[in-house]
Amino acid sequence: MSLIVKIKKQLDNFMLSVDMELTDEVVSVIGMSGSGKSMTLKCIAGIETPDSGFISLNGRVLYDSKKRINLHPGKRRVGYLFQDYALFPTMTVMENICIAMGQRNEEKVKGWLKRYGLEGMAYTYPNHLSGGQRQRVAMLRMLAANPECILLDEPFSALDEHVKRSMESELMEMLTDFHNPVVFVSHNRDEVYRLAERIGSMESGVLSTVRDKKDFFMRPMSVEQALLVGCNNISEVKWQDKHHLLAVEWDSVFEVTDEQLEQTAMSMDGISHIGVFPQDIIISAGKTKTALAYADKNIIRIKDYKIIEELKSWEILCKLNNDSIIYASLPRHTEANMLSKNINDELYIKNFYLLG
């Protein structure tokens, strides 16, 4: 089972450019709003037409600009779960699902409804269902059409926070026996990490290389990828030599190892920024000077700081001598009074990422 997408489409602000292949797996496309994620799904489904390229599903050509092939959406066998679920408002739950099946099989539908907590709602209209119930119905309607590929467009965005996690579990249960490609679009990194096997980022219409999710989160390759995975300390760099660079915004020199350069798979000319996760900053060292403890390597000096209490952590806003801000974090169990007494005027960066 495979989905191959190699398309281009000119949009208002950029050229959409997608090149990806997936098998019977869940692949996520993560990106900022307006980056081209939903448009990619619409092109795969046949709702929108690319300017050029090729799309095939399990060996069937869905779109080929050179051969002028462009299958109607109804013939593609692609299931699409919209953000608003797109249930027919004048049809009951039973009718919504049966129309996707192409036949009326009430016994089968009632069995599905019972399995997914919708028993007794077969003749209910969508406007009388909760958000979670509408999503279950939309999923069942999509699966009832026996698709060869599923496209999920921000499936949890309309749900309350306390409902999202249970719906994630139900969605994955529904997909347990679906051994076909699934493309999951989201801007929520937590959802993406839990649900996807591989991830690619959409940056101004260009889809990055799709990578293993752990590699994607632990080794961002660009500024936008870094921001998407929570690495919100970013600085432009100037190289001093092969093993030293200046983080311009922080006015600090960092030592770069050969191993770090090899892992980036980029030349020095292609590395324009440095990224640091808040949790990779050591912000206190008791009475011991950080510079002495760490041989004066990868040090950022600060003149002031502010401690902010978050739900699960302490966020430390550190102001540098040039008034730039860098964010650090500590686990929530750290005592606030001890924290404020132990912060020195130097931060040690224990890990950082080279970004293109």
Query: How confident is the model at residue 290, as a pLDDT?
Result: 44
- Average pLDDT across the chain, whole number: 87
Does 107 have pLDDT greater than 90?
no
**What CATH number did the domain enclosing 113 receive?**
3.40.50.300
For residues 168 and 218, the model is more confident at 218
Mention every residue, 6+ apart, whose C-beta is less than 8 A from residue 214.
none
* Residue at which a domain ends, from 226, 256, 290: 226
Q: Is residue 300 domain-shared with residue 213, that is, in the same domain?
A: no
Question: Would you say 235 and 247 are in contact if contact means Cβ atoms under 8 Å apart?
Answer: yes
The burial of 141, by beta-carbon neighbours within 10 Å (0-12 exposed, 13-18 middle, 19 or more buried), is given as buried
Query: How confident is the model at residue 343, as a pLDDT?
Result: 62
Q: Is residue 253 domain-shared with residue 209, that is, in the same domain?
A: no
The burial of 286, by beta-carbon neighbours within 10 Å (0-12 exposed, 13-18 middle, 19 or more buried), is given as exposed
pTM: 0.82
Q: Is residue 282 domain-shared with residue 214, that is, in the same domain?
A: no
Does 262 have pLDDT greater than 50?
yes
Q: Is residue 211 domain-shared with residue 268, that is, in the same domain?
A: no
Query: How confident is the model at residue 295, as a pLDDT?
Result: 55
Q: Is residue 67 domain-shared with residue 213, that is, in the same domain?
A: yes
User: What is the residue range of 327's domain?
Assistant: 228-356
Q: Where are the alpha helices (DSSP H) in the chain?
A: 37-45, 93-101, 106-115, 131-144, 161-174, 189-195, 213-218, 223-228, 258-264, 290-293, 336-342
How many separate domains does the chain show? 2
Does 37 have pLDDT greater than 90?
yes
Confidence band for 299, pLDDT divided at 50, 70 and 90? confident
Consecutive H or E run containing 203: strand 198-203
Mean pLDDT of 29-35: 90
Does 283 have pLDDT greater than 50?
yes
For 201-238, letters b (16+ CB in 10 Å) and e give bbbbbbbbebbebeebbebbbbbbbbbbbebebbbebe
Q: Is residue 298 domain-shared with residue 179, that is, in the same domain?
A: no
Q: In the beta sheet, which residues pair with residue 52? A: 8
Query: How confident is the model at residue 168, as a pLDDT?
Result: 81
State the Cα angle at 320 between 319 and 321, rounded to 5°. Answer: 125
Nearest to 3 by CA among 192, 134, 156, 179: 179
Q: For residue range 325-356, what is the model confidence (pLDDT) as tens digits?
A: 999 988 776 665 555 555 667 888 989 999 98
Q: Is residue 13 domain-shared with residue 148, that is, in the same domain?
A: yes
* Residue at which a domain ends, from 192, 226, 260: 226
Q: Is residue 62 domain-shared with residue 165, that is, in the same domain?
A: yes
The burial of 292, by beta-carbon neighbours within 10 Å (0-12 exposed, 13-18 middle, 19 or more buried), is given as exposed
Question: Would you say 350 and 278 are in contact if contact means Cβ atoms under 8 Å apart?
Answer: no
Query: How confident is the model at residue 172, as a pLDDT?
Result: 82
Mean pLDDT of 131-154: 88
Mean pLDDT of 311-320: 87
For 101-107, which contacts have Cβ atoms below 8 Å and span 24 or more sequence positions? 101/144, 101/145, 102/145
Q: Is residue 276 domain-shared with residue 232, that is, in the same domain?
A: yes
* Residue at which a domain ends, from 160, 195, 226: 226
Question: Would you say 79 and 149 are in contact if contact means Cβ atoms under 8 Å apart?
Answer: yes
Q: For residue range 197-256, what is the model confidence (pLDDT) as tens digits?
A: 999 999 989 999 999 999 999 889 999 999 999 999 999 999 999 899 999 999 999 999
Task: Give the C-alpha separation, 70 to 61, whole Å.
Answer: 8
Q: Is residue 88 domain-shared with residue 148, that is, in the same domain?
A: yes
Query: How confident is the model at residue 303, as a pLDDT?
Result: 86
The alpha-carbon radius of gyration of the chain (Å, integer) is: 25
Query: How confident is the model at residue 85, as a pLDDT?
Result: 73
Task: Give the C-alpha separation, 231 to 91, whole Å.
Answer: 46
Q: Is residue 214 domain-shared with residue 232, that is, in the same domain?
A: no
Mean pLDDT of 106-119: 87
Q: Is residue 292 domain-shared with residue 211, that is, in the same domain?
A: no
Lowest mean pLDDT among 3-7, 40-44, 105-109: 105-109
